[in-house]
Amino acid sequence: MEKIYSRPKALQNRATGYCPGCLHGTTVKIIAELIDEFGIQDSTVAVLPIGCSALDCWSFETDMIISLHGRAPATATGIKRNAPEKTVIVIQGDGDLASIGLAEIMHAANRGENLTVIFMNNGIFGMTGGQMAPTTLIGQKATTAQGGRTEAHGYPMHMCEILNELKAPYYIQRCAMDSPAHVREAKKAIRKGLENQMNGKGFSFIELMSNCPTNWSMSAEKSIEYMREYTLKEFQIGVYRDGGEK
Amino acid sequence: MEIKMKIAGTGGQGVMVTGKILGYAASDHNKFASFLPQYGTQQRGGTASCTVIVSDKDVTSPIVGQPNTLMIFEQSALDAHIGKLKKGGLLFININTCKVPERDDIEVVAIPVDEMARAMGSRQVANIIMLGAFIKKTGCFTEDEIIETLSHVFESKPQVMPMNIQAIHEGAALIK
Amino acid sequence: MSKLFIKGNEAIAEAAVRGGCRFFAGYPITPQNEIPEYMSRRLPEVGGVFVQGESELASINMIYGAAYAGVSSLTSSSGPGLSLMAEGISSLAASGFPAVLVNMMRGGPGTGAIQGAQMDYMQATRGGGHGGYRMPVLAPGSVQEAVDLVYEAFDIAWKYMTPVLVVADGYIGSVMEAVELPPMKESKRKEFPLYTTVHLNPENPHRRSSCTMITNEVDHEEWNKVQAAKYEKMAEELVRCEEFMMEDAEYVMVAYGTSARVARNAVISLREQGIKAGLIRPILIWPYPYEALRKLDPAKVKNIFCLELSIPAQMVEDVRFGVYDRIPVTTYGRSAGLTFSEEDVEELVKKTIEGGEK
């Protein structure tokens, strides 16, 4: 019988550790497929954050390092500057990147570090149990905003738009993981981000809008509906910058 | 010979440069030295002082509590340091800005360095005139030795050398 | 070999380059700014990389990445910056990553004073970060010794796979002295094996997987035991101190760094006046040279003086641990950027002698 699909070599043969219905598992899969596609398994370093994305350490069959909370872009800078032959993939969640790690992502972007950053945005602190993130929508419930986020807690932060104010970044795109078509688009964007790095183009930033059925207290289906009805209206998907041009 | 000195004045009077030149001179001419600057938080102006040791033997500690020599360019600096000068110590002062202090247990070398520098056409060499007098009085370096060191310090600005050489000689000539 | 009259901070930077350092990340703070300034122009000359981090947090994490990549790397800062780096240093230690850190100590606590001081003794010797790790702490007493120790620090870091901290008071950073520089060492990137790979990716041990949170408790404790054994080995092998005029000493000073230089002058002067003074100078403050204190004979030694550029006294805890209550210990120091002089120390000793004879 002809084998038409198998687990990517860059993916370990075990369960991901993500909750049922979480879209992070799909993300890990498409990144692993791309690593296979480019044949860079032995030269890839995944720089993982603190938060749910750190669970990627059970998934990637590549070199990796779990950095300190928020500091993945700095750790990745230290690796890439010293080992430029590696393909360094930085994966961060929204609490990690947009809250505690805001300075590190801004300055890595501003230096134009030759990195591919995958930003998993599900609007909440997942691993610690559903606290409000800088990306939580107004009105969206969190364990530290139990009646829903109010303006007193600030507004959702749009990282693609903020980074697009800087001169140095080469590529900025926001994608969503809610449908097969969007997943294909996301894979295309990540492919571009990796190509950019391998061609020495500089900083690529791909934001992936995702869900959190567990902490949003919804079924998987409901969380997808919520994304489409609210999240993707606040966070517009699209290419913000390609080839260094706004 | 062990000179344990403080050089002090206000920013811009060449306090640090004078101290460094003495350090480099020691290094150039087989003596031991340390140069320890004391800065304030201001980038410009304010008080400037440094501790310099020039010695025939290795410097044990760069910290000097009671100096045996003072080189002072400004009255406020003199007020701050004169009490610490050792009995029998040597005080070099810019007499254009400082009054001779009332201490009869020290030797004072008072030089109108600002006036002399103006007469030479450059306010900036006042500290070098003082340096000329200092080396002659203490005998720690010859005029030729300090000029050789100055030529290293000002390697990138050879045009300032004639004025500095003149300043060393004029300062030294004041010491009989 | 000819000597170079050079500022402490610049000498330290050059010694690091010659000791193999090829990556520097740091953030400006007085009184160590000449180190990053020097590195920014020097490292590219030897094929190294300089990055000015956006903060101390970023800088120490860049070092974390560079260490993972297998490069000898350096960061430098002063007290407040070291506090910000604490989590990163803890993680370097937890991961068993080699790196060299310089703390050019200033007055503290808080923002403190920009002038030199020895206010970070506890932070340096007790870890500074969380989790109970240990790292060697080298405490040079002159610019020449700073050069020699920074040069050696990279060897220690790689030998034991640990961060190494060099603590110098700001006076050592800002003083200019003549030094002899060591020869340039060859420096190659070396991707060392990682313990945590066994845990994260047991089927492919050739992968380099690094993580300081090991979720399997048994594996995690095993690693803690490996680390603890390393700390004990370092504590045994790295003790180093200088004993000056100690054979017949009755009045013993204990001091490190610039304090020890002042104390040495005081010892010489007191000896000239017929007072049998001596000096114990720790060259590493962790591990601490307790043996030098334990062997003191209470029948001979009348008083110990623990001298530091710090108020409150800090090192006295280690001194007391060495002498217990066998010999009286007097603490003395200045702080906030002020220093004490050899005359101050002499007066202290003489007063103690007079007091004892009454």
What contacts 24+ positions apart, CB below 8 Å, involve C318-324? Answer: C318/C125, C318/C285, C318/C288, C318/C290, C319/C254, C319/C293, C321/C288, C321/C290, C322/C288, C322/C289, C322/C290, C322/C291, C322/C292, C322/C293, C322/C294, C323/C293, C323/C294, C323/C296
Could you report the per-residue pLDDT of A219-229, keeping only the tens digit for each?
999 999 999 99
Q: Which of B18, B30, B59, B60 to mutate to test the interface with C (most CBs of C within 10 A)?
A: B60
Distance from CA of C277 to the nearest CA of A (A): 50
Q: Which residue, among C6, C354, C348, C337, has the nearest Cα to C180 in the 3D structure?
A: C6
Examine residue C226 and state whether it is found in any structural domain, yes or no.
no
A16 vs C: CB within 8 A: no
What pLDDT was estimated at residue A111? Answer: 98
Instruction: Name beta bridge partners: A142.
Output: A145
B22 vs C: CB within 8 A: no
Judge if C176 and C281 occupy the same domain. Answer: no
A 160-219 near C (Cβ less than 8 A)? none
Judge if C155 and C251 occupy the same domain. Answer: no
User: Does the beta-carbon distance from B27 to C340 stay under 8 Å?
Assistant: no
pTM (predicted TM-score): 0.95
Examine residue A4 and state whether it is found in any structural domain, yes or no.
no
Q: Is the dihedral of CA A77, A92, A50, C211 positive or negative?
A: negative
Examine residue C110 and state whether it is found in any structural domain, yes or no.
yes
User: Does the beta-carbon distance from B66 to C344 stay under 8 Å?
Assistant: no
Judge if C162 and C247 occupy the same domain. Answer: no
Could you report the per-residue pLDDT of B91-132, keeping only the tens digit for each?
999 999 999 999 999 999 999 999 999 999 999 999 999 999
Q: How far is CA C18 from each of CA C11, C43, C187, C248, rounded to the nearest angstrom?
A: 10, 10, 9, 40
CA-CA distance, C146 to B62, in Å (whole number)? 15
CB burial readout B50-89, b (16+ within 10 A) else e = bbbbbbeeebbbbbbbbbbbbbbbbeebbeebbeebbeeb
C339 vs B: CB within 8 A: yes
Three-class SS of chain C:
CCCEEEEHHHHHHHHHHHCCCCEEEECCCCCCCHHHHHHHHHHHHHCCEEEECCCHHHHHHHHHHHHHHCCCEEEEECHHHHHHHHHHHHHHHHHCCCEEEEEEEEECCCCCEEEECCCCHHHHHCCCCCCCCCCCEECCCCHHHHHHHHHHHHHHHHHHCCEEEEEEEHHHHHCEEEECCCCCCCCCCCCCCCHHHHHHCCCCCCCCEECCCCCCHHHHHHHHHHHHHHHHHHHHHCCCEEEECCCCCCEEEECCHHHHHHHHHHHHHHHHCCCCEEEEEECEEECCCHHHHHCCCCCCCCEEEEEECCCCCCCHHHHHHHHCCCCCEEEEECCCCCCCCHHHHHHHHHHHHHHHHC
Provide the strand spans (E) within A94-203: 116-121, 124-125, 131-132, 171-176
What pLDDT was estimated at residue A246? Answer: 65
What pLDDT was estimated at residue C218? Answer: 87
pLDDT band at A178, cuts 50/70/90? very high
Q: Please state the domain count of chain C.
A: 2
* C144: chain B residues, CB-CB within 8 Å: none
Examine residue A215 and state whether it is found in any structural domain, yes or no.
no
pLDDT band at B41, cuts 50/70/90? low
Of C164, C192, C220, the domain-final residue:
C192
What pLDDT was estimated at residue C213? Answer: 78
Of A66, A83, A103, the CB nearest to C210: A66
Chains C and B touch (3+ CB pairs under 8 A): yes
- Number of Cβ pairs closer than 8 Å across B and C? 60
pLDDT at A245 over 70: no
Contacts of B150 (CB under 8 A, 6+ apart): B21, B128, B161, B164, B165, B168
User: Does the beta-carbon distance from B35 to C175 stay under 8 Å?
Assistant: yes
Judge if C95 and C171 occupy the same domain. Answer: yes
Could you report the per-residue pLDDT of C318-356, keeping only the tens digit for each?
999 999 999 999 999 999 889 999 999 999 999 999 987
User: Does the beta-carbon distance from A66 to C63 stay under 8 Å?
Assistant: no
Contacts of A96 (CB under 8 A, 6+ apart): A49, A50, A51, A53, A69, A70, A72
Contacts of A225 (CB under 8 A, 6+ apart): none
User: Does the beta-carbon distance from C261 to B34 stay under 8 Å?
Assistant: no
Judge if C15 and C163 occupy the same domain. Answer: yes
Phi, psi at residue A184, to the nearest 5°? Answer: -60, -40
CB burial readout C161-186, b (16+ within 10 A) else e = bbbbbbbbbbbbbbbbbbbebbeeee
User: Does the beta-carbon distance from C58 to A104 stay under 8 Å?
Assistant: yes
* C189: chain A residues, CB-CB within 8 Å: 82-83
| Domain range enclosing C321 | 242-357
Q: Please state the domain count of chain B.
A: 1
Q: Which residue, among C340, C289, C350, has the nearest Cα to C318 in the 3D structure?
A: C289
C32 vs B: CB within 8 A: no
Distance from CA of A207 to the nearest CA of C (A): 22
CATH number, position A99: 3.40.50.970
CB burial readout C304-338, b (16+ within 10 A) else e = bbbbbbbbebbbbebbbebbeeebebbbbbbbebe
pLDDT band at B45, cuts 50/70/90? low
What pLDDT was estimated at residue B40? Answer: 65
Judge if C133 and C274 occupy the same domain. Answer: no
pLDDT at C358 over 80: no
A47 vs C: CB within 8 A: yes
User: Does the beta-carbon distance from B65 to C3 stay under 8 Å?
Assistant: no
CATH number, position B143: 3.40.920.10
Examine residue A8 and state whether it is found in any structural domain, yes or no.
no
CA-CA distance, A216 to C220, in Å (whole number)? 32
| Domain range enclosing B162 | 2-173
Examine residue A3 and state whether it is found in any structural domain, yes or no.
no
Q: Give chains near C: 3+ CB pairs under 8 A.
A: A, B
Q: Give chains near A: 3+ CB pairs under 8 A.
A: C
Judge if C187 and C331 occupy the same domain. Answer: no
| Domain range enclosing A128 | 24-199+223-241
Judge if C24 and C158 occupy the same domain. Answer: yes
pLDDT at C1 over 60: no
Contacts of B125 (CB under 8 A, 6+ apart): B117, B163, B164, B166, B167
Residue bearing tokens 């139990």: A146
Examine residue C207 and state whether it is found in any structural domain, yes or no.
no
ipTM for this model: 0.95
CATH number, position C284: 3.40.50.920
pLDDT at C263 over 90: yes
CATH number, position C49: 3.40.50.970
pLDDT band at C128, cuts 50/70/90? confident
CA-CA distance, C117 to C103, in Å (whole number)? 11
Contacts of C173 (CB under 8 A, 6+ apart): C7, C8, C9, C12, C31, C32, C34, C35, C104, C116
Distance from CA of B33 to the nearest CA of C (A): 6
Judge if C177 and C246 occupy the same domain. Answer: no
Q: Span A148-152, mean pLDDT?
A: 96
Could you report the per-residue pLDDT of C167-210, keeping only the tens digit for each?
999 999 999 999 999 999 999 999 998 887 777 777 787 788 88
User: Does the beta-carbon distance from B60 to C258 stay under 8 Å?
Assistant: no
What pLDDT was estimated at residue B105? Answer: 97
Q: Please state the domain count of chain A.
A: 1
